[in-house]
Amino acid sequence: MNKTIFVACDTSNLNEIKKIINQTNSNKLKIIPKFGLQFFYSKNGRKFLEKFQKDFWLDLKINDIPQTALSAIDSLKDLKKCKYITVHVNGGFEMLKSIKKKTKKINKNLKVLGVTILTSLNNKSLKEIGHTKNVKELVLRQAELIKKSGCDGIVCSAQEAMIVRKRCKNLLIITPGIRLPGDSSNDQIRIMTPRQAFKNKVSGIVIGRSLTKGNIKNNIKKLVDHLKK
């Protein structure tokens, strides 16, 4: 089953992290752990990742002036197994371009993913922030900026994946907001099932609570069965 699954390791508890990594190991799916702000900022998070021996995604959503963003990337160069890093498109074209140029020098295997509109937001949310474009229009504009900057991929909801794929054929498209059928949406709004997402031409999906809450082994089996249908 040639599908990439990123499991969101959203906890600062090191024992829980180890449990998630061990129990999501599967010979039927390509599963890569994704570590976000909660774990990276925790007391033991940074130390753990320094010694981690498997590919992982560091989801920091870097968003600052270009020089500060570059300094942040430079400070991560010891994390040799970091294969994906997220930066926020709101940082602008120069920041995106500079970060991609920097990663080529410190880690040729590191993929830079541009984060677009968070899956907890919708058109109403964007108006409240001050945007005049709707979600799909804004994500498409951001995707074109990511492509122009030379970055490797985009993080957007699966609902926008199809239009992004048509415009940016070679970008990696990674989609959060993924739930197994019947699971609660929690704080996500623009959600989709794994099977629906892959039908929308995504490169990989991010799953958190649908895999990590309850019996992880059973949840993995549910995911495998769901993707076979």
Residue 223 belongs to domain with CATH number: 3.20.20.70
| 191: confidence class by pLDDT, cuts 50, 70, 90 | confident
pLDDT above 70 for 188: no
Which domain does 70 fall in, by range?
4-228
The pLDDT of residue 3: 86
pLDDT above 80 for 7: yes
Residue 220, both tokens: 């993995």
Please calculate the CA angle 198-143-133 and round it to the nearest 5 degrees: 105
Q: How far apart are CA 39 and CA 27, in angstroms?
A: 26
Average pLDDT of the chain to the nearest whole number: 93
The pLDDT of residue 45: 96
Mean pLDDT across 186-201: 85
Provide the number of structural domains found in the chain: 1
The pLDDT of residue 190: 75
DSSP single-letter state for residue 110: P
Share of the chain above pLDDT 90, in %: 85
Express each pLDDT in 28-78 by its tens digit. 899 999 999 999 999 999 999 999 999 999 999 999 999 999 999 999 999
The pLDDT of residue 187: 66
Instruction: Using alpha carbons, select from 144, 10, 163 the residue that is nearest to residue 89.
Output: 144
CA dihedral 216, 217, 218, 220 (to 10 degrees): 90
Q: How far apart are CA 42 and CA 155, in angstroms?
A: 24
Mean pLDDT across 85-113: 95
pLDDT above 60 for 1: no
The pLDDT of residue 227: 93
pLDDT above 80 for 2: no
Residue 155 — φ and ψ, nearest 5°?
-110, 115
Pairing label, strands 4-9, 30-35: parallel
pLDDT above 80 for 97: yes
Pick the catalytic residue from 19, 51, 54, 61: 61
| 186: confidence class by pLDDT, cuts 50, 70, 90 | low
pLDDT above 60 for 83: yes
Is 104 among the residues known to form the active site?
Answer: no
DSSP single-letter state for residue 58: E
